[in-house]
């Protein structure tokens, strides 16, 4: 009976010691506590061995307690020895910046992911003023994950933003800057929507910055390769939806209007969008340019601005809410009203309506410039000046056209109309503005807003996200498309 009680007591002691060992083990999994733990163990060892007699004299311990303390001391000594061996050979908690240290692949990935999260948090918290700090984090992450295409993208994108916003770093065109990123995307398929959105942003960059050097084709290629694969894609996914609309715009700028319209209609059949309705209207405007009938384009532009119903080619009728702040849609609606020669309306009514749309477009654009730093689009001023000219408000037309800066893209067109006004006034042609043909809007062919070249210079259509997909990638969204090079 006594031996049974002794066995049970010893078993309880062993369990107690094992529990203490587990507590110490988990405690030491926190690297900064290694040294503290070892110091505590060594102190206990010193007290329970060298000073055991002193303790006995102070506290009057019985023989059984002394035996248990000695047993604990031996156990702690063995544990301390095992811990020291663990510290010497375990590589996962060593200094990751050491030059001669090898880290396991799993640890490399964890470190890289942690650094990526830190970089994204910096951008989320500091915005444009965290670019340098974020670049450092992503460059550090790249040391541990050289095959991560997302990290490569972040570095190139942030350097582009740095140059666009602060003129820092090297001016390098996007095809060079992102060649390595696209190679890595080829070798390592994208894992999530954020990485797919990077592909879309890259496509936007190609179409906006390299549109005269095969940029539209490059954009379409990467949309098809990475997201829109063989028509086997889910349009209900917001990122895929955006890729489809982006491909539609790239086809539009290439002059592939039927393909462009098909992409827009697929997107609209899935989810009506004011922006995409506006884009679809631009396709109709392209078809109308030759025959002068802009009625369909006008219908779609008005739906994008004021809301209403439009019919897709498959007969489906969709309803859109309208967005009054779409200044580009208002501007293009104004030009469509001026150019709508087949309309049975009184020309003066059309010109008056067009003038109202140009005024709204200018005001909205001005507010965007004041609030967000957006660049002013002076083509709406050209339209406004033409409308005023057609309405015989010649002095006001001269003032409006004169507001287009000398170095602006549309300065030459403004000058041509100012010259027409001067010729009109000098020749006493009092009725020179009675009819559209008397003004000869063929001057607009120089940079026609409703043709591929004109719209590709606007860069506004496809780069507007109606919903914010990833807040970090939306950082300085418009600065991104200016490109790193002048």
- For 196-220, the pLDDT digits (tens) are 888 888 887 788 777 667 888 989 9
Q: How many angstroms separate the CA atoms of 388 and 334, rounded?
A: 12
Whether pLDDT at 387 is above 50? yes
User: Once rounded to an integer, what is the mean pLDDT over residues 89-100?
Assistant: 42
User: Once rounded to an integer, what is the mean pLDDT over residues 398-412?
Assistant: 87
Q: How many angstroms separate the CA atoms of 486 and 477, rounded?
A: 17
pTM for the model stands at 0.67
What values do phi and psi take at 417, rounded to 5? -75, -35
Q: pLDDT band at 101, cuts 50/70/90?
A: very low
Mean pLDDT of all residues in the chain? 75
Q: How many angstroms separate the CA atoms of 436 and 160, rounded?
A: 45
pLDDT the model gives residue 305? 96
Q: How many angstroms separate the CA atoms of 350 and 383, rounded?
A: 13
Would you say how long the chain is, in residues? 486
Q: pLDDT band at 94, cuts 50/70/90?
A: very low
Whether pLDDT at 448 is above 50? no
Tens of pLDDT, residues 459-480:
334 434 445 577 777 776 666 5
Q: Look-up: residue for tokens 């209207």? A: 281
pLDDT the model gives residue 20? 57
Q: pLDDT band at 314, cuts 50/70/90?
A: very high
148-152, 337-341, 471-475: which range is least confident on average?
Answer: 471-475
28-42, 76-90, 251-265, 427-441: which range is least confident on average?
Answer: 427-441
The fraction of the chain above a pLDDT of 70, given in percent, is: 63
Q: Look-up: residue for tokens 């469509």? A: 336
Higher pLDDT, 13 or 444: 13
């Amino acid at each position: 009976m006594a031996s049974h009680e002794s066995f049970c007591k010893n078993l309880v002691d062993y369990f107690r010691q094992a529990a203490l060992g587990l507590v110490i083990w988990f405690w030491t999994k926190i690297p900064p506590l290694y040294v503290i733990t070892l110091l505590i163990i060594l102190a206990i060892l010193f007290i329970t061995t060298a000073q055991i007699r002193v303790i006995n004299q102070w506290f009057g311990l019985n023989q059984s307690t002394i035996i248990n303390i000695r047993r604990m001391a031996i156990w702690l000594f063995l544990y301390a020895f095992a811990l020291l061996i663990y510290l010497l050979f375990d590589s996962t908690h060593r200094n990751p910046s050491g030059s001669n240290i090898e880290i396991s692949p799993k640890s490399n990935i964890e470190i890289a992911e942690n650094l990526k999260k830190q970089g994204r948090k910096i951008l989320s918290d500091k915005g444009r003023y965290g670019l340098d700090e974020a670049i450092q984090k992503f460059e550090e992450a790249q040391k541990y994950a050289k095959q991560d295409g997302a990290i490569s993208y972040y570095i190139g994108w942030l350097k582009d933003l740095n140059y666009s916003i602060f003129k820092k770093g090297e001016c390098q065109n996007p095809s060079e800057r992102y060649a390595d990123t696209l190679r890595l995307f080829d070798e390592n398929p994208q894992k999530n929507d954020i990485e797919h959105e990077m592909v879309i942003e890259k496509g936007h960059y190609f179409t906006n910055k390299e549109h005269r050097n095969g940029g539209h084709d490059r954009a379409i290629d990467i949309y098809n390769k990475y997201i829109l694969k063989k028509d086997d894609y889910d349009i209900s996914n917001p990122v895929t939806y955006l890729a489809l609309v982006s491909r539609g715009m790239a086809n539009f700028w290439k002059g592939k209007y039927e393909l462009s319209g098909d992409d827009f209609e697929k997107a609209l059949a899935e989810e009506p969008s004011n922006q995409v309705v506006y884009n679809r209207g631009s396709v109709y405007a392209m078809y109308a340019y030759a025959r002068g009938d802009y009625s369909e384009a006008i219908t779609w532009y008005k739906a994008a601005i004021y809301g209403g119903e439009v019919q897709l080619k498959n007969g489906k009728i969709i309803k859109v809410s309208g967005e009054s702040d779409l200044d580009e849609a208002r501007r293009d609606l104004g030009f469509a009203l001026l150019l709508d020669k087949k309309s049975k309306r009184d020309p003066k009514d059309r010109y008056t309506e067009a003038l109202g749309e140009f005024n709204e477009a200018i005001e909205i654009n001005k507010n965007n410039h004041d609030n967000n730093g957006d660049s002013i689009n002076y083509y709406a001023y050209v339209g406004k000046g033409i409308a005023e000219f057609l309405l015989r408000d010649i002095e006001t037309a001269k003032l409006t056209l004169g507001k287009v800066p000398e170095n602006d893209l549309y300065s030459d067109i403004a000058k041509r109309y100012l010259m027409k006004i001067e010729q009109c006034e000098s020749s006493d042609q009092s009725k020179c503005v009675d009819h559209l043909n008397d003004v000869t809007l063929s001057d607009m062919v120089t940079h026609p807003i409703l043709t591929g070249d004109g719209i590709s210079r606007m860069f506004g259509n496809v780069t507007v996200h109606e919903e914010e997909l990833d807040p970090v990638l939306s950082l300085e969204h418009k600065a991104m498309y200016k490109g790193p090079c002048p």
